[in-house]
Amino acid sequence: MKVLVAVKRVADYNVKVRPKADGTGADLNNVKMAINPFCEIAVEEAVRLKEKGIATEVVAVSIGDKACQEQIRTALALGADRGIHVESSETLQPLAIAKLLKAVVDKEQPELVLMGKQAIDGDNNQTGQMLGALANMPQGTFASEVNIADGKVAVTREIDGGLQTLSLTLPAIVTTDLRLNEPRYAKLPNIMKAKKKPLDVLTPEELAVDVAPRLTTVKVEPPAERAAGIKVESVAELVDKLKNEAKVI
Amino acid sequence: MSILILAEHDNASINAATLNTVACAQQIGGDITLLVAGADCGAAAEQAAKINGVAKVLVADNAAYAHQLAENVSLLMAEVAKDYGYVLAAATTTGKNILPRVAALLDVAQISDVTGVVSADTFKHPIYAGNMIETVQSADAIKVLTVRGTAFDAVAAEGGSASVESLSAVHDAGISSFVGEELAVSDRPELTAASIVISGGRGMQNGENFALLESVADKLGAAVGASRAAVDAGFVPNDMQVGQTGKIVAPNLYIAVGISGAIQHLAGMKDSKVIVAINKDEDAPIFQVADYGLVADLFEAVPELNNAL
Ligand SMILES: Cc1cc2nc3c(=O)[nH]c(=O)nc-3n(C[C@H](O)[C@H](O)[C@H](O)COP(=O)(O)OP(=O)(O)OC[C@H]3O[C@@H](n4cnc5c(N)ncnc54)[C@H](O)[C@@H]3O)c2cc1C
Ligand SMILES: Nc1ncnc2c1ncn2[C@@H]1O[C@H](COP(=O)(O)O)[C@@H](O)[C@H]1O
């Protein structure tokens, strides 16, 4: 079966991104960019399905400006077979991304779409679910285990109360949580080989998708600062402070 | 403008997160309707009708909604939502699972994790693991929001007397089914609702050592949480993870034990009123947000704390 994996280019998770001085958005100047960690887990899962002989082809798709071809190449180095770049330099919100992915799904007809549960820039946690609604596909969000058998996929999900398992008909969407797998590193020879793998470029116009934003950013500001704390010397002092100064116990 | 809220429940009772969502709706202003979609959910609907500030409860009681499968509930909710100006749900795993589907069916955007109501169409929410607060204005006719519970004080669970109406529409997409679940059972307060939380990280070394924290938790009436590292290592289950991609907590007192303080962890707890950090590394970033920091070996400090309480 064909698996489509959606990968987003985001600031590396180790970077503490700050707002621009004029408050119009995040300051990404000179910030190291990477594949969204949850998308990396999605790529790994797709590649493992291929190694198990369940997936026949893994297609990595990324939406954004030219630079996100880097993240598609990373996915190809990790084992995806081919890439699709939907090129746009507009600010794209989850609904627009979901519509573009729906158009790609219509073209490619994958049986499984693997995505991250959340992109760590906007922290939206929306796109997979939106794609599910638009494509009328079932969803297994926040997945920690995925098993494909008999034309169905069983997905174990990390929910607030514990774990829940659902059975979904195919084609289906699965969004990854942290415990699904541990992604591998790309090996140098594979990085070289990835440069030769096919990568198609499409545009929102070709896909006939209206990507106009529905939300306008009014401003972006740093969060409230916490007042500086103190170091206590002993457990006794700590307990005393909590009882008599902070009055929380 | 009227506001439709997805009630979170287990058919028998309403989850506390719904009360915070109602509080957010009150700040927006307008008649508030709760949608209770479930199976044999009469008890939950009854509770919903008593919530302070709720004008109407819509009950969809059908096997198709038994486990609140997103595919089915979103179809129902999108149909009902056409008469409303706002659609809200708590930013819990249930709300996050269902609401974006509703938004897409309505062809509108969703604003995730709302922490502030600026005006009828403008809201604040954190982005980049809480390193920035974004103010966004929506141009959509129906505004779809998930609400961060810690940012709104819960309304009273009692005192209201909403009208209750049943919905007969059955939406069964027929593409998903419930197989089973493993829910954590605990006598301690729920992590996101507790007024004191004590969390352990990789420094705890194993699951057995969490008993040290549980003993303190029992004395303080606290909930027990964890860092991602502690969950990944298998010390404790996933539902205990606090952070950017886990649970968001803001108790009166948060005690971080053997946790370094990565931005992803801070994102889940730095709005706590008082933060205590116990860590043997005096340079651990957790001390930058701690009101009271204790540089010590946790295996000495935590038993001592336990004895002192
Ligand atoms: C996409 C993504 C999402 C993430 N989401 C989350 C999230 O939601 N929540 C989360 O917590 N993390 C999250 N993380 C992980 C985060 O980046 C850190 O790796 C994690 O928080 C570290 O956990 P820790 O502090 O327990 O472990 P470590 O960073 O290893 O710190 C352990 C600490 O314990 C101290 N220690 C060790 N032994 C003792 C002792 N005997 N006494 C006292 N102190 C001791 C050490 O000094 C150290 O500071 C995420 C990461 C990514 C990439
Ligand atoms: N620009 C994009 N290109 C490709 N995939 C994306 C893009 N934006 C979001 N996604 C996918 O949707 C997931 C959830 O993103 P979000 O809803 O923004 O938190 C990501 O982990 C990706 O799998």
- Residue range A230-246, pLDDT digits in tens: 999 999 999 999 999 99
Q: Which residues line ligand 1 (CB under 6 A)?
A: A 13, 37, 120; B 201-203, 227-230, 241-246, 258-260, 262, 264-265, 268, 279-281, 284, 297-299
pLDDT of residue A228: 87
Q: How far apart are CA A16 and CA B113, in angstroms?
A: 20
Band of pLDDT at residue A193, cut at 50, 70 and 90: very high
Chain B positions touching A92 (Cβ under 8 A) are: none
CA-nearest of A132, A116, A112 to A124 is A116
Q: State the nearest Cα–Cα gap between B179 and chain A, in angstroms.
A: 5
Number of neighbours of residue B31 by Cβ within 10 angstroms: 15
Residue-wise pLDDT tens digits, B293-308: 999 999 999 999 999 9
Helix B210-220 / helix B298-308 crossing angle, nearest 10 deg: 20
Atom 6, ligand 2: residue with shortest CA distance: A8
Residue A142 DSSP SS3: strand
- Which segments within A81-159 are labelled E, that is strand? 82-87, 112-116, 139-149, 152-159
C-alpha B149 chain-centroid distance: 6
pLDDT at B275: 98
Residues with CB under 6 A from ligand 2: A 6-8, 36, 38-39, 62-64, 92, 94, 97, 115-116, 118-119, 122, 124-128
The residues pairing with A169 across neighbouring beta strands, listed in sequence order, are: A152
Least Cα distance to B210 among B218, B221, B199 occurs for B199
Burial of B178-206, coded b for 16+ CB within 10 Å and e otherwise, reads: eeeeeeeeeeebbbbbbebbbbbbbbbee
The whole-number pLDDT of residue B186 equals 87
Q: What is the DSSP letter of B247?
A: B
Task: Average the pLDDT over A171-196 and give the result.
Answer: 97
Nearest to A110 by CA among A82, A71, A73: A82
Tokens of B59: 């009950």
Q: Do A153 and A46 contact (CB within 8 A), yes or no? A: no
On whether the CB atoms of residues A40 and A64 are closer than 8 A, the answer is no
Check if the interface score ipTM surpasses 0.85: yes
pLDDT at residue B6, rounded to an integer: 98
Residue nearest to atom 30 of ligand 1 (CA): B202
Mean pLDDT confidence for B233-262: 97
What are A75-94's pLDDT values in tens digits? 999 999 999 999 999 999 99
Q: Does the beta-carbon distance from B292 to A165 stay under 8 Å? A: no
- Atom in ligand 2 nearest the alpha carbon of residue A115: 23
What is the pLDDT averaged over residues B72-84?
97
**Mean pLDDT, range B216-241, rounded to an integer:** 97
The residue count for chain B? 309
- The whole-number pLDDT of residue B1 equals 80
Mean pLDDT over B197-215 rounds to 98
Structure tokens at B128: 């980049």
Nearest to B269 by CA among B234, B223, B308, B301: B223
B163 in a known ligand binding site: no
pLDDT digits (tens, 9 = 90+) for A31-69: 999 999 999 999 999 999 999 999 999 999 999 999 999
Q: Which two tokens stand for residue B204?
A: 């705890």
CA of A10 to the centre of ligand 2 (A): 10
* CA-CA-CA-CA torsion sign (B211, B214, B218, B219): positive
Question: Is the pLDDT at B200 greater than 90, yes or no?
Answer: yes
What's the whole-number average pLDDT of chain A? 97
Residue A129 and residue B239: Cβ atoms within 8 Å?
no
Q: Cβ distance B231 to B242 under 8 Å? A: no
**Rounded mean pLDDT of B264-268?**
97
pLDDT tens-digit series, residues B124-136: 999 999 999 999 9
Does residue A12 sit at the B interface (CB-CB below 8 Å)? no
Give A163's pLDDT tier (boundaries 50, 70, 90): very high
Query: Which pLDDT does position B103 carry in this prediction?
Result: 98
Residue B140 is predicted with a pLDDT of 97
Phi, then psi, of A219 in degrees rounded to 5 = -165, 160
Mean pLDDT (chain B) is: 97
CA of B229 relative to ligand 1 center, distance in Å: 5
The structure's pTM equals 0.97
Please give the angle made by the CA atoms of B193, B194 and B195, to the nearest 5 degrees.
120
